[in-house]
Structure 1
Amino acid sequence: MKVTKTKIEGCFVIEPKVFEDERGYFFESFNQEKFELLTGAKPFFVQDNQSKSVRGVLRGLHFQTGQYAQAKLVQVLQGEVMDVAVDLRNGSKSFGQVVTHILSSENRKQMYIPRGCAHGFITLSEKAIFSYKCDNFYNKEAEGGIIYNDSTFGIDWLLEDHELILSEKDLQLPAYSESTLV
């Protein structure tokens, strides 16, 4: 497994070692011992989630607050997305930084997003199946978010505005300056 640091402190891109032959492929998608050794992070994952989206679906930017904050290990099982993390941790050396990375079923990369970061993704392929592990349980009262196009962060979502598909809930998220932060 290859681990690459990003400009967000504690956020990593992970590339598994893939074994391929005429039968297909095999790779270890998670190994707690190796993960801790290579990242220094020690998450204990308690919840796995999966979503299916069509091209243009943008989910985010979401986070959980307080004792319900979540670290996530995300990957794409089918298709391609651009994954996004925004550091919202006051006092962090990388506060306000944004990381984007293309994750796909072809490159098999994963991204680890630490607690205190907002997270989102946009589907670039015709459809995508997105999977993520969380180190804390979801709590509706602790959910927060920031509108996807907040000028504070200037995220290039790679598609034109007319191509974007957002839930009504995500369209109602506040600007960063009005949000309840992590």
Structure 2
Amino acid sequence: MQVRELSIAGAWEFTPAQFGDDRGIFLESFKAEVLAAAIGHPFTVAQANTSVSAAGVIRGIHFADVPPGQAKYVTCAVGAVLDVVVDLRVGSPTFGEYDAVLLDDADRKAVYLAEGLGHAFCSLQDGSTVTYLCSTGYNPSAEHGIDPLDRELGISWPLVGRDGAPLDFVFSAKDRAAPSLCEATGAGLLPE
């Protein structure tokens, strides 16, 4: 498995080796010891989530209160998404910056993001299926969001899908009503 640290400290990309033959392919999509070696500590899985999204759906930017926070290991089993990690940690040298990785059913990459980082993705085709391994369970009172279209963040969301057709963005009402980075900072919502 190839491992690459992203431009945001605490975020990593994992590219598995794939072994194919006339039956299909096999790969190790998650290896605890490889992840632990990269991040410097074991990753405990408390919950696994799966979402299936139509083309153009943007989910996020989501983050959880720290402590305890919620680290995630994210893969796309079917389809393709542009996965985005946003540094929301006040005082971090990369605060307000983001990095993005194409997760798809071809390269089968995964992204790990540490507690305190924000997460979002844009589905690039109908039926894109994303699985998240989470270090803590869902706690609605500790979950927050940042507006994925916040101009201060300036995320370059894709304008066309995997098939080359233009994307019409679709959001949940909660995600579109989320505060900007500036508003969340002023309200004391962000981790340090």
Q: How far is 1:26 from its partner? A: 0.9
SS at match of 1:178: helix
Letter in 2 for 1:95: F
Cα offsets for 1:63-92 (capped at 9, x unmatched): 111224111000001000000010111232
What TM-score does the superposition give when structure 2 sets the normalisation length? Answer: 0.89
SS at match of 1:34: helix
Which position in structure 1 is the counterpart of 2:15?
15
What root-mean-square deviation, in Å, do the aligned CA atoms of Structure 1 and Structure 2 show? 1.6
Cα offsets for 1:140-176 (capped at 9, x unmatched): 0011111011111100111279710111111111111
Kindly report which structure 2 residues correspond to 1:5-154, keeping only aligned pairs within 5 A, or say none: 5-154=5-154
Letter in 1 for 2:40: G
Q: How far is 1:33 from its partner? A: 1.4
Provide the rounded CA distance (Å) in 2 between the counterparts of 1:101 and 1:32. 21
Provide the rounded CA distance (Å) in 2 between the counterparts of 1:138 and 1:29. 23
Which position in structure 2 is the counterpart of 1:167?
172
Unaligned runs of 5+ in 2: 161-165
Which position in structure 2 is the counterpart of 1:181?
190
Alignment size in residue pairs:
182
Asked if the contact 2:85/2:98 (under 8 Å) is kept, the reply is yes
Asked if the contact 2:90/2:190 (under 8 Å) is kept, the reply is no
Asked if the contact 2:10/2:114 (under 8 Å) is kept, the reply is yes
Indicate the larger mover: 72-81 or 62-71.
Answer: 62-71
Provide the rounded CA distance (Å) in 2 between the counterparts of 1:168 and 1:99. 24
Q: How far is 1:19 from its partner? A: 1.0
Letter in 1 for 2:138: Y
Cα offsets for 1:26-82 (capped at 9, x unmatched): 111112112212342422111100000000111011111122411100000100000
Asked if the contact 2:75/2:110 (under 8 Å) is kept, the reply is yes
Letter in 2 for 1:36: A
Unaligned runs of 5+ in 1: none
Q: How far is 1:107 from its partner? A: 1.1
Quote the sequence identity (%): 37
Q: How far is 1:125 from its partner? A: 1.4
SS at match of 1:163: coil
